């Protein structure tokens, strides 16, 4: 019985991850982006963030670090494999009439016609999208008009290392995220939750701040590796 449950769960996860359920496939073949627009398409402007009751749009970010490697002291860089997720609510969109499930998988290409956060990794030397065996990025639309965009990335990041007490040094590296065009309109509220790799999760303090860059910290020690990351959300004000 346990083996059957495990097999069933594995199949469900694989189907959800690759969007291969019969329902999602059937829905995605019947739905077009025009079906999501208001009756008057002119009411939707992809260049403006969605607002409700003149309130700022809240964009939640989440970074899951799968692994750290290729730490290069000469170039002061390191590599990180991450899952990067962003969620925001766009009340201008219209839900499909035949939407019966909690969420619906959308075509990733539709992001070209939708408003989305313009965040990027400031200290990244290179960013590689995972494409094995298919491009690993997905878009979901939920019943409350929340959009979830998730992508798997490999980042080569710079880190200002200090070797003053080498070889007993401990390096603190940052994963810095920034808004491309709205640097003065972005307010961060940081939930400082530390996650140590190969250790238990520990809760941290919460604080507010403003600025265009929000770092997630990574602590690198010799003989073993530990990482501490912070989750946060960004509020766009227009």
Per-residue pLDDT of the chain (238 residues; tens, 9 = 90+): 433 333 333 343 344 444 444 444 444 447 788 888 888 888 888 888 887 777 777 788 788 888 888 888 889 998 988 888 888 889 888 887 777 788 888 888 898 999 988 888 888 899 888 777 777 888 999 988 899 999 999 999 998 888 888 877 788 888 887 777 654 444 444 434 433 333 333 223 333 333 344 455 566 665 544 444 444 444 444 3
163 within domain boundaries: yes
59 within domain boundaries: yes
DSSP string covering 73-87: TTTTEEEEEEEEEEE
11 within domain boundaries: no
For 60, 78, 92, the CA distances from 48, given in Å and listed in that order, are: 17, 35, 11
Q: What CATH number does residue 124 fall under? A: 2.70.170.10
15 within domain boundaries: no
Cβ neighbourhood burial of 234 (10 Å; 0-12, 13-18, 19+): buried
Q: Which two tokens stand for residue 22?
A: 């019969």
For the stretch 123-136, pLDDT in tens is 889 988 877 777 78
Can you give the C-alpha Rg of the chain in angstroms? 20
Q: What are phi and psi of 110, to 5 degrees?
A: -65, -20
Q: Which two tokens stand for residue 18?
A: 């690759």
Place of tokens 């059937």: 26
DSSP string covering 118-153: -EEETTEEEEEE--SSS--EEEEEETTSEEEEEEEE
What pLDDT is attached to residue 228? 44
219 within domain boundaries: yes
Which 8-state DSSP code applies to residue 91? T
Q: Which domain holds residue 220?
A: 31-236
24 within domain boundaries: no
* Domains contained in the chain, number: 1
202 within domain boundaries: yes
Cβ neighbourhood burial of 181 (10 Å; 0-12, 13-18, 19+): exposed
Helix residue ranges, H only, 55-195: none
142 within domain boundaries: yes
């Amino acid at each position: 019985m346990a083996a059957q449950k495990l097999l069933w769960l594995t199949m469900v996860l694989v189907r959800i991850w690759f969007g291969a359920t019969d329902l999602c496939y059937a829905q995605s073949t019947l739905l077009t982006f025009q079906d999501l627009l208001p009756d008057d398409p002119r009411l939707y402007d992809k260049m403006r963030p969605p607002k409700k009751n003149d309130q700022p749009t809240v964009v939640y970010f989440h970074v899951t670090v799968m692994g750290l490697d290729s730490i290069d002291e000469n170039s002061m860089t390191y590599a990180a494999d991450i899952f990067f997720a962003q969620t925001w609510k766009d009340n201008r969109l219209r839900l499909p009439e035949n939407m019966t499930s909690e969420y619906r998988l959308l075509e990733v290409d539709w992001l070209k016609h939708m408003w989305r956060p313009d965040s990027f990794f400031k200290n990244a030397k290179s960013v590689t999208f995972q494409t094995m065996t298919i491009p690993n990025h997905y878009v979901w639309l939920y019943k409350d008009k929340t959009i979830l965009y998730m992508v798997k990335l490999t980042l080569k990041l710079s880190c200002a290392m200090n070797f003053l007490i080498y070889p007993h040094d401990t390096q603190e590296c940052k994963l810095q995220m920034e808004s491309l065009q709205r640097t003065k309109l972005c307010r961060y509220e940081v939930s400082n939750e530390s996650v140590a790799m190969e250790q238990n999760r520990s809760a941290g303090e919460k604080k507010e701040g403003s600025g265009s860059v929000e770092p997630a910290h990574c602590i690198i020690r010799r003989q073993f590796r530990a990482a501490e990351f912070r989750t946060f959300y960004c509020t766009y004000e227009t």
